[in-house]
Structure 1
C-alpha cells in the first residue's frame, strides 16, 4: 500500500507513538480439509487418501512457534482465541485440549475470553463436540454455506442439507454461542432459494450469522472455470432480502457480512475490525502486532511440512516460522484502519483512530470531507459511520484513503469536525 500513495511524514520524521497497546487476539490455523472447495482461496490442503494428518508434529510446531514469539507480546492478555482453517474439527478434542493448555500456560486470558472453533458438518460427532466444549471451546462456527443439497454440490461441499441440519442440532446440545456461515449468489440460485436458506438458519435461533456473497477469487477453480452466477441485480435483491429477513428476526446487522443477537457480536472479529492486534500461528497465518513506535505484520510459511520443519528450529525470540515481515507506514496505518473500521455499520469513535494508529484524525480530514460530501459517511466531532450508500459502495469509500493527498503538518492537529 505504501507504493500506492505518498509517504506521510511527521515533523522531524518522528515516528508516531501509541499511548497504549490495543487488545490482543490469538489465531491458530489448521490447514487441512476433507477436500478443497472450488471457490476457496484460503491456505487449505485436502487430506490425501490413506495419509493421516500428523497432529502431534503439527501441535508441537504450533507450540514452538508460540513460544518463539513471546518476546513480542510478553505480559499481554488474550481477549479471544480462534481455531480457523481449513477444518480445525478434523483434529481430535484431545489435540485441541493440548493446544489450549499450552496457550493458557504461556498467556493470561481475559475473564470470559471467547474461544472459537471452526467446524464443517461432515466432521460432526456428538461425543467429539462435547469433548471440545470440555476442552475449553465456548463458541462454534459452522460452515453451512447452504441448506440446499443441489447448491452444496455446486459448491463442491462434502455435506448435504440434512448433514447441515444435523450438525446444528448436535452443536446446540453442546454450545449456546454458535455462528453459522452462509453464502448467497450461488450458481443456479434464485431469490427464493436464498430466502429459504436464511429462513432455515433463523429458525434455529443461533446467536450469530455470517452471510457472504460468493466471489470468484484468483487461484481458485471457480476463477479459472467460472460457473454461471446470478446477475448483479439478482445478487443485490438477494442481499436486500437477507438483510430485511434477519432484521425481522431481531438480528443486529453490525458489520458488512455479520449479524448477531444483541450482546453476541464476535469478539475476535470485532478486534480485527477495530484495528486491534492479533498473533497468528500455523501454516500461512498472518499477524499484526503493535509496539510503541511501530506496527508490524508477519506471515508464516504456507506449506504445512515446511512450517513444521521451520518451527523445529525456533527458539525464544527466534521466529524461524516467519516468512515475511512488514512495518506499516503511516499511509498503511490510515488505510488499514479505515478498511477495517468502516465495515462496521455503526462506525467508530473518532478518538479510536489516533489510539490505534498513533496519528491524529485530522490527517485524513480532506478524505473525510469528500466522503461526507458524497454522502458516503455521516459524522460529528465524536463519531464516524458509513451511510447506507457508503455501505453499498464500500470500495468507493475506501478508495478515498488511497489517494496521494494525505498530508501532515503541525497545524493539522486541531480538534476540527471529524
Structure 2
C-alpha cells in the first residue's frame, strides 16, 4: 500500500473493520498464544532436555524485576527496590539470574551450543544494574563465558531517562552493549506525574542526547491515550524526537490489559477495577476520538520524517539496522520465531527450531516465590509450559511474523508446516479477507505477504482475531507435510 493510500484516522479504519474493535479495558491479548496443551514443570523440564537446540539461532533474555518507582499503567513483573538497599538488592538479583542460567546450562547440554544472536536485559528497570560495575559486570561476563555468542551479537539493555547518564553508558559500552531501549512515554511533566513516572522532560531529552553520543542504535518508547495527553502534545513530543534524530521511536496505545490474568505479568494499579472506574468517572482517560487523533498526529510526524515501522509500532529512520531495518532481537523473537531462553521471575520463552510443534516456557510470576524457590530448591523456577501444535503453532508463528512487519514467506510455511497459506483452509479465507480489506498485500511476485500500513496500524487486533482466533482455534483438518 502506498503512503498516500494510508488511512490515518484509526477510528475510520476500525469502522471499516468492525470485527477488530476491542475496547481498551478488554484488551487481554498478547502476541504470545494463551492456547495449547498445558505442561507441568516436570513435563516442561523433560521437553527442554529433549530439545535439539545446539547450533540453532536463539535469543537470550534476563528479567530484572526491580524499579525505583512503579508506573500506574505497568503490568509487567516488577517490585520497588527496598529503600536504602539498592546495592544489596541488585547483588541478590545478579546472583539469582546467574544461578538460574547456570541451572539451565548444567541440565541441558544444548543451551551452551545454541547460537545466541541477541541478548536483552529487561524488567522492571534493567538499567539499574548500570549504577555499579559490581552488579552488571559479573552478569555480562557469565553470558560471554558460557554462551555461544555470534559475531556482532546484539546486546540490549532497557531503562528510564535517569538511568542513561554518561557514566552509565560508558560502562555499558565498555561491557559490549550496542543497543539501548529508553522508556519516556511522554514529554509532558503532568502526564508523567499522574502516571507516577519520576522524570522530567529535560531529563528525557538529556538521556536522548547521551544515547545519541554513543553512536549506537536505540529506541525511545512513547505512549498515547494517557491522561492529560492531547493530539497536539503528542505531535510536539514526536516532533522533538524526530528532529533530534532518534533512530527508533516506538508508539503504544494505552491498553489496560491484565497480564496477571494471562499468566505473564503483574496487575497494574489501573487494572484494579475500583481505581480504573474512578478514573473513568472523573474523565481522566481520553475518549476514543481523541486517542485515535493522537495516533494520527504521531504517524503524520513519523512519515514526514521518513520513519517506517518494523516491527509494527517500532518506527525507524532508514538505514538504522541491517536486513530489513529491524533490530536483531526482533528478527530472532518475531520475524524468525527463533528459540528464546528466558530467565527471571515471570520470564517466558519458547523452544521452536525448524519443527512443526513449539513449547512455551513460563517462570513463576510471584517475585517472592521465585526468590524462595531459588534459595531453597535445586530445580528450575518453572510455573508451567504450553505445547503448541497444528493450527495453534502455525497461528502463533504467523502472529509473530506479522508483528515483525517483515515478509511472510509462503515457502517457509509450506516447508515447516505443510501449510499453503493462499490455498488451504483456514489460512486461505483469512488471508483473502485481509488482502481484500487492504490490510495485507502480496509482494515479491507472489512469493510473500506483508502487512500494509493500515494492517500495521491494526496489527494487535489482526493477530488476535485472524491468527489466534480464526486460525489457531480452527477445527479444519491439520496440515501435514
Could you say which TM-score interval applies, normalised by the shorter chain? Answer: 0.7 to 0.9
Deviations 1:355-386 (Å, cap 9, x if unpaired)?
A: 66575544523332333344432236411122
Matches within 5 A, 1:6-405: 23-52=57-86, 53-70=88-105, 71=108, 72-91=110-129, 92-218=132-258, 219-224=267-272, 225-226=275-276, 227=279, 228-261=284-317, 262-264=319-321, 265-274=326-335, 275-290=337-352, 292=355, 294-312=357-375, 319-354=379-414, 361=421, 362=424, 364-379=427-442, 381-394=446-459, 395-396=461-462, 398-401=464-467, 402-403=469-470, 404-405=473-474
What is the rounded CA distance, in whole Å, between the counterparts of 1:157 and 1:389 in structure 2? Answer: 32
**Compared with structure 1, are the counterparts of its residues 243 and 86 closer, same or farther at alpha carbon in structure 2 (3 Å cutoff)?**
same
CA contact (8 A) 2:232 2:297 kept: no
Report the secondary structure of 1:342's partner residue: helix
Task: After TM superposition, give the deviation of residue 107 of structure 1 in Å.
Answer: 1.1
What is the rounded CA distance, in whole Å, between the counterparts of 1:27 and 1:288 in structure 2? Answer: 11
Deviations 1:14-54 (Å, cap 9, x if unpaired)?
A: xxx99998631011101000111100000011123233343
Task: After TM superposition, give the deviation of residue 397 of structure 1 in Å.
Answer: 6.0
Report the secondary structure of 2:120's partner residue: strand
Report the secondary structure of 1:298's partner residue: strand
What is the rounded CA distance, in whole Å, between the counterparts of 2:111 and 2:248 in structure 1? Answer: 30
RMSD: 2.9
- Bigger drift between 37-46 and 385-394 goes to 385-394
Please give the TM-score of this superposition, normalised by the length of structure 2: 0.75
Number of equivalent positions: 398
The answer to whether structure 1 residue 408 and structure 2 residue 477 are counterparts is yes
CA contact (8 A) 2:235 2:298 kept: yes
What is the rounded CA distance, in whole Å, between the counterparts of 2:478 and 2:66 in structure 1? Answer: 50
CA contact (8 A) 1:121 1:163 kept: yes
What is the rounded CA distance, in whole Å, between the counterparts of 1:187 and 1:232 in structure 2? Answer: 12
**Compared with structure 1, are the counterparts of its residues 121 and 397 closer, same or farther at alpha carbon in structure 2 (3 Å cutoff)?**
closer
**Compared with structure 1, are the counterparts of its residues 393 and 304 closer, same or farther at alpha carbon in structure 2 (3 Å cutoff)?**
closer
Unpaired segments of 5 or more residues in structure 1? 6-16, 414-418
Unpaired segments of 5 or more residues in structure 2? 1-32, 38-50, 259-266
Task: After TM superposition, give the deviation of residue 179 of structure 1 in Å.
Answer: 1.4
Please give the TM-score of this superposition, normalised by the length of structure 1: 0.86
